[in-house]
Amino acid sequence: MPDPDRAGLRAAERRLQAAQLASDVPALDALLVDDALFAGPDGVLLGKEDDLGAHRGGHQVLHRIDEHDLQVRIVGTTGVTTLLATLEGAIGGEPFTARVRYTRTWTHDEQHGWRVVAAQATIAADGPPA
């Protein structure tokens, strides 16, 4: 039987992906701490409100997330997920398809469950899934 904390974090990662696909701003808001930070593949650092605004205003739209690999680590109340996925969508109206590796740091508390503290996205090399 899987460790419930790991299963819970894996489920939170998948809820995050579903919220991104749906541009579900209330769900994203609940899954991110207020001072969350995101480093994009271009090195630009964004905050939670930047991320929510991109979804709210339609600047960032995801049509597909194909998960190739998801790994989960937990130490105490801190978790890390690494996701390798192929994304398809549009940013600023420009379509894109990209193979991306996300590393997300999560925190857990009894009131909120798992929430993202920080994330890094890197464009991954082409090739077979890891």
Give the three-class secondary structure for 58.
coil
- Which secondary-structure segment (H or E) carries 116? strand 113-123
Distance CA 65, CA 67 (A): 6
- Residue 128 pLDDT: 53
- Residue 103 pLDDT: 98
> Which of the following CATH numbers is that of domain 4-123: 3.10.450.50, 3.40.50.720, 3.40.50.300, 3.40.720.10?
3.10.450.50
Q: Where are the domains of the chain?
A: 4-123
For the sheet with 94-109, list strands across it. Answer: 45-47, 32-39, 113-123, 94-109, 78-91, 60-75
- Residue 125 pLDDT: 83
For residue 87, CA distances in Å to 9, 13, 109, 110, 130 come to 21, 15, 30, 32, 16
Quote the pTM value: 0.91
Distance CA 70, CA 37 (A): 21
- Residue 109 pLDDT: 92
Which regions in the chain score pLDDT beneath 50? Answer: 1-2, 130
